[in-house]
Amino acid sequence: MVSRVLVPMDGSEMSEHALKHALKAYPDAEITVLRVVGEPSPLWGEASGLALAENLEDAAQDLAAPTFNRAREIVADADGDAGLETMVELGHPVRAILNRADDYDTVVMGSHGGSITDSLYIGNVAQKIVRRSPVPVVVVR
């Protein structure tokens, strides 16, 4: 029985689909949304903003807030009663997700992110998670 589900979200439509799937497939499970911030990219993206922040944890929470707000909206639209945990990690998405995966029964994630950079590397993160995860992974499109 699946009682704990990790759903990495990056603000993309695919990650929203993953959360909706997790809510439907595992209605009685505790669901945790993980937002990884500060990931390296060819253009540095979020990492540059974090590098300039006075308080790294507050800056990471600020970057994650829109994703968590959207996740709460999705939960409210789906049922309203389901509990939702949220977690922010700093660093590279693959490492952050894999570091947390052991604490869950399964990982449910989108097939790829939604940024221009992500479209150049479609499925790169999902592919690595599927190959390396210590728990089953459901990839949603």
Q: How far are the Cα atoms of 61, 63, 110, 113 from residue 37, in angstroms, in the given order?
A: 9, 7, 17, 13
Q: DSSP state, 103?
A: T
Return the number of other C-beta atoms located less than 10 Å from residue 74's C-beta.
Answer: 21
Question: Which stretches within 1-141 are classed as H helix?
Answer: 13-25, 45-52, 56-78, 93-101, 116-120, 124-132
pLDDT tens string, the chain, 141 residues long: the values are: 899 999 999 989 999 999 999 999 999 999 999 999 875 444 455 555 565 667 778 888 988 999 999 999 999 998 766 679 999 998 889 999 999 999 999 999 998 765 555 544 446 889 999 999 999 999 998
Q: Which domains does the chain have, with CATH numbers?
A: 1-36+65-86+99-111 (3.40.50.620)
